[in-house]
């Protein structure tokens, strides 16, 4: 039976976004404060996932050996470094979260069986690379506060209470929602990005966060006047709102994760759009985790 193991590692490093082919004004417009001459730093957290068969020792791989490989080829050269200068790849392509994850895969692939590389630049920004050519995934986390009531107008109060429990109370209740938006795209060979992060955040703000924040969803968001604002329905509606604007930025909306409480979350995974000559299959999934 197949199994997969995960190894976490950490490193601290700085980087700078600057393209010599652009003027200073163009760089500033594109990258903002990221162009500062001495760069800026992050405490990166790396997760390496490796698949395989469980051997007679009860292991997929010897984690002690895995630790040494990751240290030798990744964390030792990257820790306390200025990324733009540490690896030759970063002299050609900016060391964005996406491109760092991609490059780490290239460094480890000759030594470890890899399923995915996930790199956190900060708590609400991370990238995942799965070995799909130059395509990778970028996730942005956000949050909003809102109230809702779970009830159908065509059901009696008693029946709503049977289905939704205390959530059917007439005056509703509130949550501090967490939202994760994952997009998929091809890494630009110069910028190292799959999407302009500032523009992506603007789309999320305009389409979802501002319309939903500090509202009573049933009353203030027209869509939920006729649709019960469960976590599943909220996530599906967010996907509907974001899909086209994100496509306009040159990448694909891949996943929406909505966290309603520490105990309840919902994920909507969209089909991956591939070239017509691709034989790879895509899947749509909606998962409620409770």
| Rounded CA separation 212/215 (Å) | 6
In the residue annotation, 214 being an active-site residue is answered as: yes
Residue pair 168/161 in contact (Cβ under 8 Å)? The answer is yes
- Residue 183's contacts (CB-CB under 8 Å, 6 or more residues apart) are 137, 138, 139, 194, 195, 200, 246, 251, 252, 253, 254
Residue pair 289/267 in contact (Cβ under 8 Å)? The answer is yes
Instruction: Determine the Cα angle at 26 with ends 25 and 28, to 5°.
Output: 65
Looking at 98, 128, 260, 267, which residue is catalytic?
260
Looking at 34, 111, 161, 167, which residue is catalytic?
167
In the residue annotation, 167 being an active-site residue is answered as: yes
- Residue 162's contacts (CB-CB under 8 Å, 6 or more residues apart) are none
Residue pair 219/138 in contact (Cβ under 8 Å)? The answer is no
Its sign, for the CA torsion 87, 89, 95, 100, is negative
If one counts every other C-beta atom within 10 angstroms of the C-beta of residue 170, the result is 8
What separation, in Å, do the N-terminal and C-terminal C-alpha atoms of the chain show? Answer: 27
Q: 198 is written with which tokens? A: 């500032």
Give 150: exposed, middle or buried? Use CB within 10 Å, 0-12, 13-18, 19+. Answer: buried
Q: Which residues are catalytic?
A: 167, 214, 260
């Amino acid at each position: 039976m197949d199994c997969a193991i995960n190894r976490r590692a950490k490193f601290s490093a700085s980087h700078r976004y600057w393209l010599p082919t652009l003027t200073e004004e163009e760089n500033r417009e594109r990258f903002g404060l990221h162009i500062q001459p001495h760069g800026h730093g992050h405490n990166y957290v790396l997760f390496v996932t490796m698949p395989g068969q469980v051997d007679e020792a009860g292991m997929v791989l010897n984690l002690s050996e895995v630790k040494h490989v990751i240290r030798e080829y990744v964390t030792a050269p990257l820790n306390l470094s200025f990324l733009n200068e540490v690896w030759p790849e970063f002299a050609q392509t900016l060391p964005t979260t996406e491109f760092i994850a991609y490059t780490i895969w290239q460094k480890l692939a000759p030594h470890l069986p890899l399923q995915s590389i996930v790199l956190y630049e900060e708590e609400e920004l991370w990238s995942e690379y799965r070995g799909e050519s130059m395509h990778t995934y970028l996730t942005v986390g956000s949050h909003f506060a809102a109230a809702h009531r779970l009830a159908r107008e065509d059901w009696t109060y008693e029946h709503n209470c049977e289905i939704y429990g205390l959530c059917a109370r007439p005056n509703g209740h509130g949550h501090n929602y967490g939202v994760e938006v994952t997009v998929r795209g091809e890494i630009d060979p110069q910028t190292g990005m799959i999407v302009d992060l500032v523009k992506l955040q603007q789309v999320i703000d305009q389409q979802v966060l501002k319309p939903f924040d500090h509202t009573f969803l049933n009353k203030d968001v027209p869509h939920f006047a006729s649709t019960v604002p469960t976590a599943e329905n909220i996530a599906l509606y967010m996907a509907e709102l974001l899909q086209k604007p994100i496509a306009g930025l040159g990448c694909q909306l891949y996943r929406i994760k909505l966290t309603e409480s520490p105990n309840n979350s919902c994920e909507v995974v969209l089909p991956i759009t591939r070239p017509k000559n691709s034989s790879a299959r895509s899947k749509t999934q909606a998962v409620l985790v409770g």
